[in-house]
Amino acid sequence: MTKSLPVPEGDSLHRAARRLQVLVGDRVAAESPNARGRATGVAEQIDGRRLEAVEAVGKNLILRFEGGVTVRSHLRMSGSWRVRAAGDPVPGRPWLVLRGERAQALLYGGRVLELNARAVRGLGPDILAPEPDLERLLRNFRRGDQARQVGDALTDQRLVAGIGNVWKAESLWHARVSPWRRVGDVTDGEIRALLETAARLMGRSVETGREEVNIAHRAGMPCPRCGTLIRSRGQGDDNRAAYWCPTCQPGPEPPVHPAPS
């Protein structure tokens, strides 16, 4: 059985971007208590600069400072941004500490922290943009490999940025589309429905701070809609678990994968 680790998805990055807004407009004092964070050179470049904007782009958090300095943070498996009142003690050794007038932001477990937004280029449209461009997203899906499984395509950040394993499973279940169908066999209407559903579910998660999960990580439990047991199988190059209800989401049997290493 495939074991899945939680990975920050677009909605958690958007929540972090919201929390960090309290620092926007402040001239920040920056330091890196963590040696690996210090090695990125980010803190010394931004120390004393005014923070102009913070935004989530896909699974990246982009911080723009005066003077055209841009910092990209990608949280990977275990990173997190926390916001504390100015002057509160700083626990542990964060990768980056940004001290503003009223608050300080702490980045733990950065993994990817760098001084430009290069990696953001090449990303598809953000699923959590205020008005996601569904037609452009649909064209991206149609331009790509039509033989690819739709569940795999949904988490390809070049097609659509921000969807990870949990919201992939939930969107497919809500839209009643099997993750194992080929993109070419999924209608335009179904792809639109999948993307609209992902945007709606993730948007609600940003608003409420809660993830309403029906199917992800629930293999062997009854489908909340029909009672059929939920199935799970590794999918895509990284063999991360796909979840589906074989009754609500009919489709081809998944190919037999080698066991995850």
Query: By the criterion CB under 5 A, which residues form the site for Zn ion?
Result: 223, 225-226, 228, 245, 247-248
Task: Give the separation between CA 225 and CA 188, rounded to whole angstroms.
Answer: 24
* Least gap, CB of 23 to Zn ion (angstroms): 44
Closer to Zn ion by Cβ: residue 219 or 248: 248
For residues 202 and 127, the answer to whether their CB atoms sit within 8 Å is yes
Q: CA torsion 41→113→158→250, rounded to 10°?
A: 170
Q: How many Cα neighbours within 13 Å face the side chain of 190?
A: 19
Minimum distance from residue 182 beta carbon to Zn ion (Å): 21
Q: How many CB atoms lie within 10 A of CB 241?
A: 19
Nearer to Zn ion (CB atom), residue 76 or residue 218: 218
Q: 81 or 173, CB closer to Zn ion?
A: 173
Q: Is the dihedral of CA 232, 235, 240, 242 positive or negative?
A: negative
- For residue 223, the Cα-to-chain-centroid distance in whole angstroms is 25
Q: How far is CA 253 from CA 66, 136, 178, 182, in A?
A: 53, 30, 10, 12
Q: Residue 14 corresponds to which tokens in the numbers above?
A: 């958007």
Closest distance to Zn ion from the beta carbon of 169 (Å): 13
Neighbours of 130 (CB within 10 A): 6
159/215 with CB nearer Zn ion: 215
Question: Cβ closer to Zn ion: 34 or 249?
Answer: 249
Counted residue by residue, the chain has a size of 261
Closest CA to 37 of 98, 112, 88: 112
In the complex, minimum distance from the CB of residue 203 to Zn ion, in angstroms, rounded to a whole number: 24
Nearer to Zn ion, 13 or 230 (CB): 230
CB of residue 231 vs Zn ion: minimum separation in angstroms? 10
